[in-house]
Amino acid sequence: MISMTLEEIATVLSGRLVVRGDGAVTDVIDGYVETDSREIVDGGIFVAKPGETTDGHNFVGTALSRGARLAIVEHEVDEEISQVVVADAVAALGALAAHVVASVRARGVLRVVGITGSNGKTTTKNLLAAILSARGETVAPKNSFNNAVGAPTTMLRVTEDTEYLVSEMGASSRGQIARLVAMATPDIGVVLKVGLAHAGGFGGLDHTFTEKSAMVTTLPASAVAVLNRDDERVAAMADLTAARVVWFGLGENAHVRATDVEADRSGTRFTVTVPSGESRTVRFKVLGEHHVSNALAAAAVATELGVPLDCIVAGLESVTRAERWRMEVLGGRDDVTIINDAYNASPDSMAAALKTLALVTPPDGRRVAVLGTMAELGEFAGEEHDRIGLLAVRLRVDRLVVVGADARRLHISAINEGSWDGESVFVETADEAYAYLADELRAGDTVLVKSSNSAGLRHLGDRLGELFSW
C-alpha cells in the first residue's frame, strides 16, 4: 500500500481514530491490508470483518502478535493496537482501496484493467499478469480474490511504482460489480461471458447480463471495452458503453482472433492475429479450447497497452495451468491423465470441460468423467444437471462417476438415455469414488474431475493424480 499516516487513514474512512500503545497520529503505515489475521505480516493493517461463522474482532490480538500496526474495527477492541472505528468494515475496506487507487492514478503511471464474466476471470487474469509483469510492476489478485473483500484487498497492494492493476471483478448477487467498478474504474474493461454461474443469486440470464454489463456501462469515452464477439449477450454490451470497443473471438469480425485451433492432452495450439495484421503461432499449455478465448482477451488487453505481439505470445506460453484445480493436468503413469478442474463449476464450464475431455482423449483411450454438483443455480439446478447428464452421453463418455446427493439427478438423466451403452455409477462420497476409480482406471484413460468448489472433488482429483504420478 502507499504510505499513509494513521490520521490520513481515519480521515479517508470518516472513522474515529483510537491511538494505543506507543502509536501516534503521524505514524506512517504502508503494509499490506488483510481480513485474515493469519495473513498479516509486519507493518500491516487488519480489517476486523464480521463473518457468518466468526468475527474478525476476536482476532485483533492475533493480528497484533503477527505485526499489525492498525486495526479497522466496527467497535473498539481491548488490545494495544491503534484502531480506526467505522460503521462498516467492508465498506471501509472499499473506501480505502478507492482512495489508494485514485492517489496512485493521479501520478499518471497506473493503468487499471477490470475483468468480469461468468467464466474465465481467473484464467484471463493470470494470463494477463504473466504478460504485463514482464513490462512493469503489476498487481493482480491471488487465487480468485474478486468479491467485495478480495478485490479491494488486491487494489490496496498497489504502490507508487505500480504500472498495471489487474482487477478481477466477480459477483454472486446484484450490484456487486458496479460497486467494484466504482472503486477503480478501469481504463480497459473486459467482459468474457454471460452464463448461468451464480444464477441463483442473480435470478436468471437477463439479470446476469445486467450485472456483468456494469463493467462497461460507466466507462468513459477515453476507456476501452474488450468484449467477446462470440457471446451474443456480451456482444450486445457494445451498445451500452461510451468506450471504444475491441472485439476478441474466433470469427473474422474480431479484432483479436484465433485460427487453426488444435488441442490434445498437452495443451492447445492456435494462431493469434492482432489488429495490426500480425500473426503468431501460440503453443498454449493450458488445456481446453475454451481457454483460447481467455488467451485472446488477455492478448487484446495487452495489445491496447502497447505490448508487442512477441511478448504477448511469450507471456501466454509461460503459463502452464489456468490456476490450481482449474484444468490442471496430473498423473501420467500408465498413460493415465487426470484433468483436475474441480475448483468451480457452472453449466457452461462443465460443458466446456466435457467437450475438452472428448476432444483430447486419444482414439484408443477411454473418456472418464467424475462429476459433482454445480452449486448456486437456484431454480435452474435440476434442468441444468439434466442437461449435463445428457451431454455426457452424447459426447460418448465411457465411464461416468457422479459424486454426492446434490448431483444425483445428473446420474439419473444419463442412465435414462436409452441410446447410451456406457456406464454411470453414483456414489455418495469422494472416498467411495476414489475406491471405485482406483480399481476401475486402466492404461490410456483420460479422467476429468469436475464440480463446484463446495463438493470438494478437487482433493479427489489430487489423490487420483498422486495415484498415477510417476
CA dist., res. 351 & res. 450, Å (int): 10
Looking up cell 475406491 gives 435
DSSP string, 47-114: E--B-SS-BGGGGHHHHHHTT--EEEESS--SSSSEEEE-S-HHHHHHHHHHHHHHHHHTTT--EEEE
10 Å Cβ neighbour count for 306?
Answer: 9
> 446 - beta bridge partners?
337, 367
Annotated binding-site residue? 122: yes
What's the helix, strand, coil split of the chain in %, to 5? Answer: 40, 20, 40
CA dist., res. 124 & res. 140, Å (int): 11
Annotated binding-site residue? 378: no
Annotated binding-site residue? 117: yes
Give the residue among 191, 175, 201, 280 at the shortest CA–CA distance from 236: 191
CA dist., res. 270 & res. 267, Å (int): 10
CA dist., res. 141 & res. 399, Å (int): 37
Annotated binding-site residue? 373: no
CA distances 469 to 43, 324, 341, Å, are: 42, 17, 17
Annotated binding-site residue? 123: yes
DSSP-based three-state secondary structure for 468: coil
Exposed e or buried b for every residue in 407-436, given b needs 16+ CB within 10 A?
bebbbebbbeeeebebebbbbeebeebbeb
Contact criterion met (CB below 8 Å) for 127 and 76:
no
Residues within the annotated binding site?
A: 117-123
Residues within the annotated binding site for ATP?
A: 117-123
